Every structure is written in structure tokens, then in C-alpha cells.
Amino acid sequence: MGMEKLRAFSLCLLVLGLGTVALGQAEITDFPGGLTEMVWNLRGVGPAQELRLQVEGLADGKYRVTMSLSLEGTGTELSALGFFGAPLWIQAAGTQLDLSTLNVLIRRREVLNVGESYALPGGEFFVREKKEIAGVPCLVGEFRPAEKTETVIELGLSLADPVYLFPLLRVQERGRVTFEIVLVEYHRP
């Protein structure tokens, strides 16, 4: 692997790690003893991908976290950065969106009400409905960035079950989905 590719890969890993910490919807201590399994489908960056995350609550307050990524495509498709480039693509190359604003919603989701709009730095969030995503009760709404009027970010926030990443994050530009991550399986003890 060339030095430039290694640097780019390392940068993407760093962005993924920081993005996950910044946008994590549950703290590790929110997960119960036993095995919680989550599976998301991703599309919009390279070939369609599947992300699996297992959080196992062990004895003595310890946890085991296992993450795997599955993707299928041609050699050209798989030579792209894939999942590791997704946060970078959303943040930098694709939409120029600052998703850190959504942290306010994550931390205050229990006080959000269906049918209401909330002003946030850089835009507005409208809570559209309550619905289940992979069996997880969620609030689903739309964030509209003030400076990117052609962009809508559909967001699902878990109301009860610990889900590490968003159950739903869909970016639409001019009515076309440009990135999507959707929780498709959820199992907990």
C-alpha cells in the first residue's frame, strides 16, 4: 500500500472513529448484560454495505464490542474507501453538512414532540412521526440546513432501546437520496 493511500485510509479511520463518537446515540453503559446485536444497511458511498455491531455486557461492568462490515461489488467499486469514507464523504466531499448539530437532538430526544419544529444551530428539525425501525420505537423527523435549502436529512432517534448509531440517517439533495444508513435488524437480551 502506497504512503498516500495509507494516509488517506488512516484519515478515514480517524474520521469514522470521531464521527461515531460524536454521533453515537447510546453510551456503552446503556447496553444491558448479554448480547445486543444491530445491523445497518448503508448505501450512497461505493457498493451497498452491511454494518454489524454487537455489544455484549459482561461481568464486572465490562463490555465486548464486535464490529464487522460486509460489502460486495466489482474490483473498481471495492477499491473505493467504502464505509470508512462515509462520514468523510458526508462531511466533506458530498454534502458539506455539519452533522454535529444533531447531537442536541440525540441528547434531548425524550422531550421532542411529534408535529413540532425545533430551531437548531444551522437549521431546523421537524418531528414527523413515531414509528418502529427494525422493531425499535423511534421518533422520525427531518433536519433542514438553513444554508442548504435543497438538502433534507431524515433522522430516526431511538426512544427506548440502546442503539449505538442512528436507526435512520438519510441525506436527500434535490429530492435524490445521496447517502443512507438504516437499521434493519435489532436483537437484545
pLDDT in tens, 21-48: 345 678 888 899 999 999 999 887 667 7
CA 139 centroid distance within chain = 15
Most trustworthy range by pLDDT among 38-42, 59-63, 183-187 = 183-187
Distance (Å, whole) CA 37 – CA 50: 13
Residue 177 bridge partners (DSSP): 172
Most trustworthy range by pLDDT among 19-23, 27-31, 83-87, 129-133 = 129-133
- Strands (E) across the chain are located at 34-43, 49-57, 63-71, 117-120, 123-133, 136-145, 151-158, 168-173, 176-187
Please compute, for residue 109, the number of CA atoms within 13 A of its CA located in the half-sphere on the CB side. Answer: 22
Quick check: helix, strand or coil at residue 46?
A: coil
Instruction: Kindly indicate the confidence band of residue 118, based on its pLDDT and cuts at 50, 70 and 90.
Output: very high
Amino acid at 62: K
- pLDDT value of position 141: 95
26 closest CA partner among 167, 185, 120: 167
Q: What is the rounded average pLDDT for all residues in the chain?
A: 77
Q: Structure pTM?
A: 0.77
Largest CA distance in the chain: 52
